[in-house]
């Protein structure tokens, strides 16, 4: 039955399928210490369901097995990821500064794409056994990277993300927790070796030590999870990233084995590869919802995305951005107005410094 389920998962488009028990995750105590130190920032939901995350049987009574699944969102090796810049690069018109969106968000929302396939996989499991099952795509109270490592799907790297020796680290993870009994697969060992590329690449030094992340410093947290004002100390380091950050993932040497997965490929939103900052700043509520319908970016809401856009313009914009930022500084949303004012001051300071040096 186990191999039938694995083959069905691969047929559905998953790039990896491994099995583990429903016992407590290995890193349960480390997770609790991480919470106790406040390193999760304002992600209060992690605390609220911590007991379930450290005891999967509280998620599903009678659970015996967890099926862990991976979906690659690596791009074609012939295509280059859109780079990030702290300063506007040569060759790009100054009147159209660009923002960078994390690679995973340049698709139709993965929750919906993968969720539809998981429903089919659950139905298949139920055809084979009289079981109860629940499925999650980054939505349930499970320590999914821990479970994926124990199942042998990959290993947790020094950047705290899962790395597969056959798929790299551009991965979406999902799980199926079930009362069906499956023999567990062998766990994966860590293969980071002496590499510290991800620690060195982090713009805000959020990876404070190998395998240790201070989410409060992470650009993905700051631009997505944080709902309020972004601390001034991190704004320049954000550069022109407007939704997430790929730096620690991008430099991982295991990506030489990454390959484009077939499940997400048809759902690529190529228009998100390059985002014109001034166009985004002009979006009203209706236009924001229309432009990003069906993508993870809706999660930030207009106020969050335009907050990020203002920071990016403050870092890479020039005099041409001043009229738009002036309008944004009068936005009815205080969060946008605050960050637009900061951006105006940043650009004005640069222009003044340039004028003095000439």
Q: Which of the 8 DSSP states describes residue 183?
A: P
Report the alpha-carbon distance of residue 227 to residue 223 in Å, rounded. Answer: 8
pLDDT per position as a tens digit, 307-330: 999 999 999 999 999 999 999 999
Report the alpha-carbon distance of residue 78 to residue 357 in Å, rounded. Answer: 42
Mean pLDDT estimate for the chain = 93
Report the first-to-last Cα separation within the chain, whole angstroms: 74
Bridge partners for 65 per DSSP: 21, 178
What's the pLDDT at 355?
86
What is the average per-residue pLDDT within 288-315? Answer: 97
Q: Dihedrals φ, ψ of 64, to 5°?
A: -120, -30
What's the pLDDT at 213?
98
What's the pLDDT at 356?
86
What's the pLDDT at 89?
43
What's the pLDDT at 95?
53
What is the average per-residue pLDDT within 237-256? Answer: 97
Point out the residues that are catalytic: 138
Residue in the structure block whose two tokens are 């659970």: 63
pLDDT per position as a tens digit, 206-219: 999 999 999 999 99
Confidence tier at 77 by pLDDT (50, 70, 90): low
> How much is the pTM?
0.92
pLDDT surpassing 80 at residue 96: no
- pLDDT top residue among 85 and 204: 204
What is the average per-residue pLDDT within 35-61? Answer: 95
Q: Which of the 8 DSSP states describes residue 303?
A: H
Token representation of residue 231: 């601390």
Element holding 213 (H helix, E strand): strand 212-213
pLDDT surpassing 90 at residue 98: yes
């Amino acid at each position: 039955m186990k191999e039938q389920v694995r083959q069905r998962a691969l047929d559905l488009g998953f790039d990896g399928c491994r099995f583990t028990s429903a016992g407590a995750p290995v890193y349960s105590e480390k997770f609790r210490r991480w919470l106790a130190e406040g390193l999760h920032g304002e992600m209060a939901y992690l605390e609220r369901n911590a007991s379930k995350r450290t005891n999967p049987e509280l998620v599903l009574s009678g659970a015996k097995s967890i099926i862990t699944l991976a979906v690659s969102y690596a791009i074609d090796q012939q295509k280059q990821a859109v780079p990030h810049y702290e300063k506007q690069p040569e060759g790009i018109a100054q009147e159209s500064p660009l923002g960078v969106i994390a690679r995973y968000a340049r698709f139709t929302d993965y929750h919906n794409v993968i969720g539809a396939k998981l429903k089919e996989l659950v139905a298949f499991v139920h055809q084979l056994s009289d079981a109860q099952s629940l499925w999650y795509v980054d939505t349930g109270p499970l320590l999914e990277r821990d479970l994926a490592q124990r199942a042998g799907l990959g290993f947790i790297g020094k950047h705290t993300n899962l790395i597969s020796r056959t798929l790299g680290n551009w991965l979406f993870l999902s799980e199926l927790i079930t009362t069906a009994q499956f023999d567990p697969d062998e766990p994966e060992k860590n293969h980071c070796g002496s590499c510290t590329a991800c620690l060195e690449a982090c713009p805000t030094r959020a990876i404070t030590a190998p395998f240790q992340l201070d989410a409060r410093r992470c650009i993905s947290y700051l631009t997505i999870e944080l709902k309020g004002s972004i601390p001034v100390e991190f704004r320049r380091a954000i550069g022109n990233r407007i939704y997430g950050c790929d730096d620690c993932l991008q430099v991982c040497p295991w990506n030489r084995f990454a390959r484009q997965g077939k499940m997400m490929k048809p759902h690529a939103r190529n228009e998100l590869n390059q985002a014109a900052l001034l166009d985004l700043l002009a979006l009203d509520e209706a236009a924001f919802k229309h432009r990003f319908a069906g993508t993870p970016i809706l999660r930030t809401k207009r106020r969050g995305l335009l907050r990020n856009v203002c920071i990016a313009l403050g870092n890479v914009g020039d005099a041409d951005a001043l009229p738009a930022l002036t309008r944004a500084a009068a936005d009815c949303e205080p969060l946008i107005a605050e960050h637009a004012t900061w951006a105006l001051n940043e650009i004005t300071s640069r222009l003044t410094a340039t004028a003095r040096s000439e």
